[in-house]
Amino acid sequence: MPSVYIKTYGCQMNERDSEAVAAQLVAKGYTLAPSEAVADVILLNTCSVRDFAEQKAINKMVNVIADARRARPDVVLGFMGCMAQSRGQELIDRLPDVDLVLGTQKFHRVVDYLDELLAGRREKIVDVAEEQGSEATIREHLLNGNSPKSVTAFVSIMQGCNQYCTFCIVPYTRGEERSRTIPDVVTECRQLVSQGVKEITLLGQIVTSYGKRGFGKIDSLAPRGTSGERVGVRGILENELLTPALSSPGEEREKKSPFVKLLDAVHEIEGLERIRFTSPHPKGYGDDLIEAYARLPKLVEHAHLPVQSGSDRVLKLMHRGYTRARYVGIIEKLRQAKPDIGISTDIIVGFPGETEDDFEQTLSLAREVEFDQAYIFKYSQRRDTPAAEMPDQVPQQIREERNQRLLEVINEIAKRRYSAFVGRQTQLLVEGPSKKNPARMTGRTRCNKIVVFDGSERHRGQLMDVQITRAGSFTLYGDPFVLGEH
Ligand code: 5AD
């Protein structure tokens, strides 16, 4: 059987999509190649969020064409995911050696398409169409193949985003918000737990919007349409879950959003130890979600809450839908509910029109909130997004300089916050050997900090207590305190 090598760029959603694609291929008898040098099929799962990410994948494909294609003329080459979605046929026009371009709603077609390409029945395939029900097709996992058991897993709960932030290409690459049903997600989670998974991260581009636009559902028995696509049964509505989170004034307020109902349902799964999710949006971050942290012991004390800017003027230009005060208010409430909560964020520097004063407000927000970690992005113009056309684009050099200044502040704060753990006892979920030093093991605290310690394979998957002895850059070092093998 053919072997396939998949290289993934970008976010956790992309990692998850690649895993599902690999699992679907393995289920059909494909093997996973250890490197592109020996693969019959090479797929690049791409990211479009910044130009840099696109260039990386394109350059990689150029190199693959030069090396692999020359050595093995029959090798099948494909782009999948976000850049495939936004560029489509253009990618083959530019790189005629590419055989397959597969959009974000078509991952589940990969087996059929590769079979056709490998058999020579078709020469090129570009499929970037929308497909109803595709949100429910990212569900296969590659667990326990021949490697040690997986402790953590990602579960995709929804696809797409309707927020239309002015800088962001995601609504165009991932499409409209579509959510899987609660039973569908819970079934997948249950299965993972029965296979030994202890921690699940629920994934979506904007999880706070989960279920707000209804639920689509794929019916695997649905007839194929004339174009050969499965016809999803859209709009199987669960009325109870569609109640708006906020009703008009005077009416009784619905207390729980669909997302919190999903958290409740996943929390019920016996044997599951920890729940995480990413990414929420501050606009939809209701009190019900804050209260869930206090109420649900398996929901660990970590919130990744992208802020993007500390300036209200810039937040408005970005179409974020909240103010700095609202953001800070959410963080305050989260810290009231869970004082040890780890807070991470995404920040963009050099958004069009961002002045020195606006940027200083971002610096002051970073100091005010004291993030444990922040991912800083230099603004990148994306095709078809409103911000790309805005006046006062910030010169590249200033974007670089602001990136550097913010990084210094973020690192200084993180250093302080990580150092504060030294001497404390904390609970880890042990994930596996450290990448840097396989003789040591790594685990993650509930607040999402990586801890490296002297341990062995037998600790994998265990919750254990360690004493933190040292803090490094975004890493803690620990000594097993009580080998509390719960
Ligand atoms: N330029 C720079 N950063 C961006 N992001 C999204 N779009 C852009 C862009 N055009 C960042 C945001 C988002 C993260 C995943 O990527 O901070 O939260």
CB-based burial label for 464 (10 Å; 0-12, 13-18, 19+):
buried
Q: Is 167 in the pocket of ligand 1 (CB under 6 A)?
A: yes
Distance, CA of 430 to CA of 442 (rounded, Å): 6
Per-residue pLDDT tens over the stretch 145-190: 656 789 999 999 999 999 999 999 999 999 999 999 999 999 999 9
> Atom 5 (ligand 1): residue with closest C-alpha?
49
Q: Is 346 in the pocket of ligand 1 (CB under 6 A)?
A: yes
Testing ligand 1's pocket by substitution, the residue of 54, 161, 163, 167 carrying the most ligand atoms inside 8 A of its CB is 167
> Atom 14 (ligand 1): residue with closest C-alpha?
346
Single out the residue of 167, 81, 90 nearest to residue 389, CA to CA.
Answer: 167
CB-based contacts of 394, cutoff 8 Å, min separation 6: 350, 351, 352, 353, 354, 379
CB-based contacts of 266, cutoff 8 Å, min separation 6: 185, 186, 189, 200, 202, 272, 275
pLDDT for 245: 41
pLDDT for 475: 97
Taking 70 as the threshold, does the pLDDT of residue 350 lie above it?
yes
The total of other beta-carbon atoms located within 10 Å of residue 479's CB is: 12
Q: Could you write out the three-class secondary structure of the chain?
A: CCEEEEEECCCHHHHHHHHHHHHHHHHCCCEECCCHHHCCEEEEEECCCCHHHHHHHHHHHHHHHHHHHHHCCCCEEEEEHHHHHHHCCHHHHHCCCCCEEECCCCHHHHHHHHHHHHCCCCCCEEECCCCCCHHHCCCCCCCCCCCCCCCEEEEECEECCCCCCCCCCHHHHHCCCEECCHHHHHHHHHHHHHCCCCEEEEECCCHHHCCCCCECECCCCCCECCCCCECCECCCCCHHHHCCCCCCCCCCCCCCCHHHHHHHHHHCCCCCCEEEEECCCHHHCCHHHHHHHHHCCCECCEEECCCECCCHHHHHHCCCCCCHHHHHHHHHHHHHHCCCCEEEEEEEECCCCCCHHHHHHHHHHHHHHCCCEEEEEECCCCCCCHHHHCCCCCCHHHHHHHHHHHHHHHHHHHHHHHHCCCCCEEEEEEEEECCCCCCCEEEEECCCCEEEECCCHHHCCCEEEEEEEEEECCEEEEEEEECCCC
Taking 90 as the threshold, does the pLDDT of residue 219 lie above it?
no
Taking 90 as the threshold, does the pLDDT of residue 466 lie above it?
yes
Q: Is 282 in the pocket of ligand 1 (CB under 6 A)?
A: no
- Cα 246 to ligand 1 centroid, rounded to whole Å: 28
Residue that wins the pLDDT comparison between 10 and 248? 10
pLDDT for 482: 61
Model confidence band, residue 126 (pLDDT cutoffs 50, 70, 90): very high
Segment 363-374 shows an average pLDDT of: 98
* pTM given for the model: 0.92
pLDDT for 107: 98
CA atoms within 13 A on the CB side of 407: 10
Model confidence band, residue 426 (pLDDT cutoffs 50, 70, 90): very high
Mean pLDDT over the full length of the chain: 92
Please answer whether residues 302 and 429 qualify as being in contact, where contact means their C-beta atoms are separated by less than 8 angstroms: no
- Cα 346 to ligand 1 centroid, rounded to whole Å: 8
Model confidence band, residue 223 (pLDDT cutoffs 50, 70, 90): very low
Single out the residue of 246, 203, 233 nearest to residue 18, CA to CA.
Answer: 203
Q: Is 50 in the pocket of ligand 1 (CB under 6 A)?
A: yes
Q: Is 477 in the pocket of ligand 1 (CB under 6 A)?
A: no
Q: Is 379 in the pocket of ligand 1 (CB under 6 A)?
A: yes
Segment 284-299 shows an average pLDDT of: 98
- Cα 320 to ligand 1 centroid, rounded to whole Å: 12
Taking 70 as the threshold, does the pLDDT of residue 221 lie above it?
no
Per-residue pLDDT tens over the stretch 305-344: 999 999 999 999 999 999 999 999 999 999 999 999 999 9
Share above pLDDT 90 across residues of the chain, in percent, rounded to a whole number: 87
Residue that wins the pLDDT comparison between 69 and 127? 127
> Atom 13 (ligand 1): residue with closest C-alpha?
346
CB-based burial label for 205 (10 Å; 0-12, 13-18, 19+):
buried
> Atom 18 (ligand 1): residue with closest C-alpha?
346
Taking 90 as the threshold, does the pLDDT of residue 92 lie above it?
yes
Distance, CA of 235 to CA of 245 (rounded, Å): 19
pLDDT for 326: 98
Residue type, 425: Q
Q: Which atom of ligand 1 is nearest to the CA of 167?
A: 10
- Cα 339 to ligand 1 centroid, rounded to whole Å: 29
81: left (phi over 0), alpha (psi -120 to 50) or beta: left
Taking 70 as the threshold, does the pLDDT of residue 233 lie above it?
no
> 205-219, 258-272, 285-299, 432-446 — which is least confidently predicted?
205-219
Q: Which atom of ligand 1 is nearest to the CA of 279?
A: 18
- Cα 228 to ligand 1 centroid, rounded to whole Å: 35
Per-residue pLDDT tens over the stretch 249-282: 433 456 899 999 999 999 999 999 999 999 999 9
pLDDT for 216: 64
